[in-house]
Chain A
């Protein structure tokens, strides 16, 4: 297949899966009775509907170009940070630090990604923001739980902004023989991570018996994890033609991002348990909040970015 058709092949494949999923969802709803509410199936159909919207938004961003992809992920970061900070017990003395996180650090980080300044965006939050924010909080003079508050605000920025910005940062890599096709690298990452989530959900619902971490999540099972991660790895290997990788390399990459994604889901579940909530928000019907949908992507993105950069990129 010629490279210029790769985009259409992937888009067509996703479209086919969404149509199939919607048909299956409708069939299940018909089978259990249109009028009768059914918690699992109604939630499944809500999720599928939300997927249509999310796929439409990502497709639109891809069609508009790099700036739109960067803007889309900046928006996702903003929403995720909003959900994270809403559930973080900050105090009045953190007001400047919070305002700076939303209105200075987030836009600057994505601006640096847009400007292709790897030397700065790779350290902007872990170095500059991490020194600057505690100063802002200290200047306000509130010492109560100072260490907790500073640590939590920083971690929110790390997760919601720094990690996620590594998805559009893939556009900056220069891979010999792969010039001008970096959007496909994003498509590969997002597709494998999200497919892994969906497949783990499906395997878990169908076969799930043994819980992996009963204290963290009632829905993560060994059967779901092995089935989902395994099939997502195979999917990644099967998509090698859209990447700069060989089939084996694509499979290894897919396995790694799948594992990181799963671990990300566990970590974010631990935070939710700690804060006493089930979901991060209510923004996406059937899924919960933005963070519920992108927790796995957040953990997978920096690892995928750096492995690809180290082994395949010349920049």
Chain B
């Protein structure tokens, strides 16, 4: 009950602040199990992606987020665990902890879709995308039938750059690109390169915009 209200409130605030609009360019909203992988510039990224999903899909879609950040205060813990039912992973797992890839695979096996940020950390520099971590490859190696949907989140880094307090109400878009699956016998490097290219292609300008024009200054 209170989780539902909190979710509605967060979605409403995200929509008001960013006027966010979904563009289903390479695929439509489908209820099946998927891995949505997106560019990462802000802690609000998954909120925005989650907010534009149709409610039925939202209910079965879980973001993958860093445990150290989201467990660091009671409010964050409530939002992450109860509202978004996030899969909270440790960035540097101890030997006695379950491995992040295992945790994600378990969530997928349980019927959920995932929201992943394969860059691993927030991109605060001039580059459009950081190199991908290998987690997404290891995950689809375990579950090759699951589709990976590239999702480009545009402009959120300009709404609230890292370290700023007041958001500027610029318009954001969330673009869903063409889904991809792991090819038979496909190597790690090849898959990661293909996934990265698919995500770039989902950007409104196809990833051509130079660092100059990017709002994400040094």
Determine whether the beta carbon of A86 is less than 8 Å from that of B170: yes
Contact partner of A90 (CB less than 8 A), chosen from B164, B167, B215, B218, is: B215
CA distance A92 to B166 in the complex (A): 13
30 pairs, A vs B, C-beta closer than 8 Å:
A78-B169, A82-B169, A82-B171, A83-B171, A86-B155, A86-B170, A89-B214, A89-B215, A91-B214, A91-B217, A92-B161, A92-B215, A92-B216, A92-B217, A92-B218, A95-B161, A95-B164, A95-B166, A98-B170, A99-B166, A102-B168, A102-B169, A142-B217, A142-B218, A144-B212, A144-B217, A276-B205, A281-B171, A282-B21, A283-B19
Query: How far is the CB of B166 from the nearest CB of chain A, in Å?
Result: 5
A85 at the interface (CB under 8 A from B): yes
CA distance A186 to B10 in the complex (A): 39
B158 at the interface (CB under 8 A from A): yes
A103 at the interface (CB under 8 A from B): yes
CA distance A102 to B21 in the complex (A): 21
CA distance A85 to B155 in the complex (A): 11
Chain A neighbourhood of B158, CB < 8 A: 90
- A31-67 CB contacts (< 8 Å) to partner B: none
Residue-wise, chain A 83-112 has the 8 Å CB interface mask toward B (1 for contact) of: 101100111110100110011000000000
The 10 closest A-B pairs by CB, nearest first: A92-B217, A91-B217, A89-B213, A86-B171, A98-B168, A99-B166, A86-B170, A92-B161, A99-B168, A95-B164
Chain A neighbourhood of B170, CB < 8 A: 82, 85-86, 98
Determine whether the beta carbon of A91 is less than 8 Å from that of B215: yes
Taking A90-B158, A95-B161, A282-B21 as contacts, is the C-beta distance between A85 and B168 under 8 angstroms? Answer: yes
The total of chain B residues at the interface (CB under 8 A) is 20
Question: Which interface residue of B170, B213, B214 has the most chain A CB atoms within 10 A?
Answer: B170
Determine whether the beta carbon of B217 is less than 8 Å from that of A103: no
Query: How far is the CB of A103 from the nearest CB of chain B, in Å?
Result: 7
CA distance A36 to B158 in the complex (A): 41
Chain B neighbourhood of A282, CB < 8 A: 21
CA distance A314 to B99 in the complex (A): 78
- B131-183 CB contacts (< 8 Å) to partner A: 155, 158, 161, 164, 166-171
* Number of residue pairs A-B, CB distance < 8 angstroms: 47
CA distance A85 to B89 in the complex (A): 37
Determine whether the beta carbon of B169 is less than 8 Å from that of A93: no
CA distance A91 to B210 in the complex (A): 13
For B213, the closest partner residue in chain A by CB is A89
Query: How far is the CB of A280 from the nearest CB of chain B, in Å?
Result: 10
For B172, the closest partner residue in chain A by CB is A86
Question: Which interface residue of B167, B212, B215 has the most chain A CB atoms within 10 A?
Answer: B215
CA distance A95 to B217 in the complex (A): 11
CA distance A145 to B217 in the complex (A): 11
For A83, the closest partner residue in chain B by CB is B171
CA distance A78 to B171 in the complex (A): 12
For B165, the closest partner residue in chain A by CB is A99
Chain B neighbourhood of A92, CB < 8 A: 161, 215-218
CA distance A33 to B121 in the complex (A): 53
Determine whether the beta carbon of B19 is less than 8 Å from that of A82: yes
Query: How far is the CB of A67 from the nearest CB of chain B, in Å?
Result: 22
For A78, the closest partner residue in chain B by CB is B169
Determine whether the beta carbon of A103 is less than 8 Å from that of B166: yes
Chain B neighbourhood of A281, CB < 8 A: 171
Chain A neighbourhood of B205, CB < 8 A: 276
Chain B neighbourhood of A102, CB < 8 A: 168-169
Chain B neighbourhood of A103, CB < 8 A: 166
5 further A-B contacts with Cβ under 8 Å, apart from A89-B212, A276-B205, are A86-B155, A86-B171, A89-B214, A90-B158, A144-B212
Chain A neighbourhood of B168, CB < 8 A: 85, 95, 98-99, 102
Query: How far is the CB of A259 from the nearest CB of chain B, in Å?
Result: 31
Chain B neighbourhood of A98, CB < 8 A: 168, 170
Query: How far is the CB of B41 from the nearest CB of chain A, in Å?
Result: 12
